[in-house]
Amino acid sequence: MEIIGEKINATRKNIENAIRERDASFIQDLVRKQAEAGANYLDVNSGMPLYPEEEADDFAWLVPLIQEVADIPICIDSAYPLVIETALKLHQGRAMINSVNGDPKSMESIFPLAKQYECKVIALTSSREAGIPSNSTGRLKVAEKIAKEAQHHGIPLENIYFDPLVLPLSTDHKNAAVFLETLREIKASLAPARTISGLSNISYGLPKRKRVNHAFFVLAVECGMDAAILDPTDREIMAMVPVTELLMGKDPDCAEYLIAYREGRFNI
Ligand code: THG
């Protein structure tokens, strides 16, 4: 399981302030905390400045600042190719792009960058034309179109991480079921492509959100989720990683489980 730390996201007010004020130590502290907690990538989103040029300036400041303190790649979370390219030029090692979608314009601008910089790409199973399809058949169709186009650009499928998109249960009680079914179908028909998800949206509008998020995480792993965008400093959900892998039959001799135990990762 690959963990993408979600905390450097300017949709949270204190992060937005830190970025606007260029508060380096605040950001670097969040980098260290997530790296120490076991993140394999750090998602970085600088919010929605009015102009992409402004967002590109944010990334030009953020990328070296982050890489100065942690040796883990960045997951560049932006809607603008200009911003993504700016970040890729400064990034050391192989980054992840968050994201491409099924729009021809999105694929035409993102795939050449992914090819040139040899990075991984998160692919949302949505497009302007299809929206977010309400069922797994529709989402799989978008995924298949993206997979075909990626290969056309010479990008190996194992570098594509499909995100079946989590919508809140509070707006439709079938939203988790549709998501899980889509995960399973993508794994079945597009392997070696990988899957990823930002889970927390599932519980939006409900009380005791973490209770829902943790159970949802386990179900998603069972359906073939390879990577998750979450808060790695949440010890409860991080403890679910070795437990779930053990239950899935992926931990010979229970070795990783026992390491996690000895390291105190189950002492919450
Ligand atoms: N897919 C992809 N990218 C994504 C998402 C996704 N990027 C953004 C988002 N979803 C994942 N990132 C965040 C970042 C911050 C928060 C939630 C998701 C957040 N959460 C609250 C907090 O920390 O205060 C509350 C968290 C909670 O209650 O659990 O700010 O789906 N490709």
Residue-wise pLDDT tens digits, 106-130: 999 999 999 999 999 999 999 999 9
Q: Write out the residue limits of the CATH 3.20.20.20 domain(s) in the chain.
A: 2-232
Determine the average pLDDT of the residues in 222-251.
Answer: 97
Is the CB of residue 123 below 6 angstroms from any atom belonging to ligand 1?
Answer: no
Is the CB of residue 229 below 6 angstroms from any atom belonging to ligand 1?
Answer: yes
Question: Ligand 1 centre and the CA of 233: distance in Å?
Answer: 13
Angle between helix 52-69 and helix 81-90 axes, rounded to 10 deg: 30
- The predicted model scores a pTM of 0.96
Other Cβ atoms less than 10 A from the Cβ of 258: the count is 13
Percent share of the chain, pLDDT over 90? 98
The three-class DSSP label of residue 123 is strand
Output the CA torsion sign for 39, 201, 217, 263. Answer: positive
Is the CB of residue 99 below 6 angstroms from any atom belonging to ligand 1?
Answer: yes
80: exposed, middle or buried (C-beta count within 10 Å: 0-12, 13-18, 19+)?
middle
Task: Give the architecture (CATH level 2) of 2-232.
Answer: Alpha-Beta Barrel (3.20)
Confidence of residue 48 (pLDDT cuts 50, 70, 90): confident
Residue nearest to atom 11 of ligand 1 (CA): 198
- Comparing CA positions, the residue from 202, 171, 201, 196 lying closest to residue 182 is 196
3-state per-residue secondary structure call for 80-101: CHHHHHHHHHHCCCCCEEEEEC
Residue nearest to atom 1 of ligand 1 (CA): 198
CB 180, CB 220: distance < 8 Å? yes
- Comparing CA positions, the residue from 48, 69, 72 lying closest to residue 58 is 48
Is the CB of residue 78 below 6 angstroms from any atom belonging to ligand 1?
Answer: no
Determine the average pLDDT of the residues in 74-90.
Answer: 97
Other Cβ atoms less than 10 A from the Cβ of 26: the count is 15
Q: How far is 235 from 37, CA to CA, in rounded Å?
A: 8
Output the CA torsion sign for 178, 180, 183, 184. Answer: negative
Mutate which of 2, 8, 9 to test ligand 1's pocket (most atoms within 8 Å of Cβ)?
Answer: 9
Q: Which of 33-37, 48-52, 221-225 has the lowest mean pLDDT?
A: 48-52
Confidence of residue 49 (pLDDT cuts 50, 70, 90): confident
